[in-house]
Structure 1
C-alpha cells in the first residue's frame, strides 16, 4: 500500500476501503474521504480548528435525547436534510413536493376519525383543514394514510412540553375516504424558533442567522402502490418564508388560510363562526413510476 502523503492523502485512505464487500459503502466512504481531504487542504485546516470541530460534534451528540435530536437540527440548518430529501423525491412537477421531516416526528400519531379536532388543549385559533390524496393522474387513493403534526400556538411541540401540553397534542393519523378525501380540525399554525440552546444554536449565532421557521403543518401521506411523501403546508402570510432556518419552504406548498363567514358551514364543521380554513391536495407518484432525474427536471443536454 502506498504510504500517506499530503498530496496523495485522499487516494491512500480511499484505497484502504478496496476490500469493502458492500460496493455502495465502498463508494460512499471513498467519496467522503475525497471531499473531506479536499476541504481540509482548501482551507489549510489548523489543528485547533479540527479540535474545535470534534468538540462541536461531541457536544451535538451529547445534546441528543429521547425528545431532541441535535444532529437532525444540524443537518437541517446546513441544508443537507433538504438536499437529500429533494434528491430522493424529485417530482418532475407532477406530484406534491417534499420537504424535511424535522426533529419532532418522534412519537406515533394516534389514529383519529375524519373531522376530529387534534388541538386537545382547546388553545389557539381553530381551523378546518381539507384535502384529497390522489395519484398524478388524479385517481383518488381510497384509504390513504395522512399523518399530521404541528406546534402549538406558542411554537412548541407536545414532546417539548410534556408537563404543559396533553400527550399527542396536535398529532393525528387519518384514513382518507373512498374518494381520497381527508379533513380535520386543528389550529392555525404559528412560526417558531428551532431549539437554539445547544451547539446548533451556537452555530446560528456565530453566523448571524436567526433560528426561526415559518408557520407550517407537517404531513406524511402514504398509499399502497405509491411512493410516500413527507411535506409541509405553509401559511402564506407567515414571517420567515424567505429565510426558513432549515431551508424547507417550497413555493408549491404555500397556501392561504382565509377567514370564512358562514354560520351553516361552521356549525357543520363544529367550529365557531367565522373560522379559518385551508385546502391542501396531495398527489403521489406510483411506486413503479420512474423518478425524474436531475437532467429531466432541467431539460439540459
Structure 2
C-alpha cells in the first residue's frame, strides 16, 4: 500500500528554483555525485538570476556549447580549450595539486597531449623535422626529500619553432615530432635534444576563438615545453618550463604561467659541450629539476 506524504508539494517558482531542482537529486546513491550536482544546480540558478539571463541568451549559450562539442575530434579538444581560457583548468589543477614546499609546481595539461609519446633513449633528438634553434634539455627527477628517482618516466612534448604541434600539421612533419618518453638513469637524471619552442596562439578557428575575439582577448601562450613525470610510490606531476623572455609570460591565454617554471634557455658556445651532447654549436640549454611528493599509500 503506497503512502501519501502530508508535506506540502514544492512547486517550481523563480524564487525557489534552485531548491526544487537541487532536491531532485536527493536520491542519488553516490554521495559525491549528489553533492556535485546539487551544488552545480544552485550555482547555475544563482548565475542565471544574477545576470537576469534571457531566453535568447540561453539559446545562444546552448548553441555555443553545441558547436564546442562539434569541434572536438581525436586530435582536438575544444572543451579543454574552453576550460583553459576560463581559468577553470588552472583552478582545478591548483585544487588537485596542493603540493608541499620544495615540490615542483604543476600547470595545465593543455589540449595537445592527444597521442602517446614514443619511448626514446637518453640523449635522443625529439625534433624529427628541419628547422629551429638547437637546444639541449637536461633535468633530474627526485623525491621531495632529495632522493634521486632512478627509472622515473618523463613524458615530453612541445610546439616547434613556428608554434605548431605535430597533430596540427600532420602532412608537414613526421609523426610524433617533438614528443618523447624517457627513463631517468641511476642518478635520476635525463637529457634530450630538441629545438627552442615558439610562443603560439591556441586554436582560434572554433567557438573558443570566437569567444576570445568577441571579448578582445588575445589567444597566445608563451613558449614552453610540457612534462609529465612519474615514479613508483610518488604522485605524478604535469608541468611546463616556460622560456624566459618569451612574449606573453604575463598574459598567458590559459593562465598557466608560474614564476618557478620560467627557465633561462641560455646560449652555450662551447664545441666540447656540443660534441658531448651530439648537437651543433652554439646551442641553447635549459634545465629542470622535477621534484615529486611521495604517495603515503
Aligned to 1:129: 137
2:197 corresponds to which residue?
189
Give the Å deviation of 1:122: 3.0
Hey, what's the Cα distance between the residues in 2 that align with 1:170 and 1:251? 24
**What secondary structure, in the 3-state scheme, does the structure 2 residue paired with 1:48 have?**
helix
Aligned equivalents of 2:57, 2:101: Cα separation in 1: 43
Map of 1:97-176 to 2, 5 A cutoff?
97-176=105-184
The equivalent residue for 2:280 is: 272
Structure 1 unmatched ranges of 5 or more? 290-301
Match of 1:298?
A: none
Q: What is the aligned counterpart of 1:62 among 55, 59, 70?
A: 70
Deviation at 1:48, TM superposition (A): 0.4
Provide, for residues 8-63 of structure 1, a one-character-per-residue CA deviation record: whole Å limited to 9, x for no partner: 11111111111100000000000000100000001110000000000000000011
- CA displacement at 1:2 relative to structure 2: 1.0
The TM-score, its normalising length taken from structure 1, stands at: 0.95
Whichever of the two has the greater Rg, that structure is 2
Paired residue secondary structure (1:281): strand
> What residue in structure 1 maps to residue 20 of structure 2?
12
Matched, 1:179 2:187: yes
* Pairwise CA distance, 1:181: 0.2
Match of 1:249 in 2: 257
| Comparing 93-102 and 26-35, the one that deviates more | 93-102
Q: Could you say what secondary structure the match of 1:184 adopts?
A: strand
Other structure's SS at 2:176 match? coil
Q: For 1:285-300, what aligned pairs fall within 5 Å after superposition? A: 285-288=293-296
Runs of 4+ in structure 1 displaced over 2 angstroms? none
SS at match of 2:14: coil
Q: Following TM superposition, by how much is the alpha carbon of 1:93 offset from its aligned partner in structure 2, in angstroms? A: 2.6
In the alignment of these two chains, the number of paired residues is: 289
| CA distance in structure 1 between the aligned counterparts of 2:281 and 2:48, rounded to whole angstroms | 61
Indicate which of 88, 94, 97 corresponds to 1:86: 94
SS in 1 for 2:187: coil
Specify the alignment match of 2:43 in structure 1: 35
Once the two structures are superposed, residues 204-231 of structure 1 have per-residue CA deviations (whole angstroms, 9 ceiling, x without a partner) of 0111000000000000000000000000
* 1:263 Cα offset (Å): 0.8
| Structure 1 residue 7: Cα displacement | 0.9
RMSD: 0.8
Residue matched to 2:208:
200
Offset at residue 121 of structure 1 (A): 0.9
List gaps (5 residues or longer) in structure 2.
Answer: 1-8
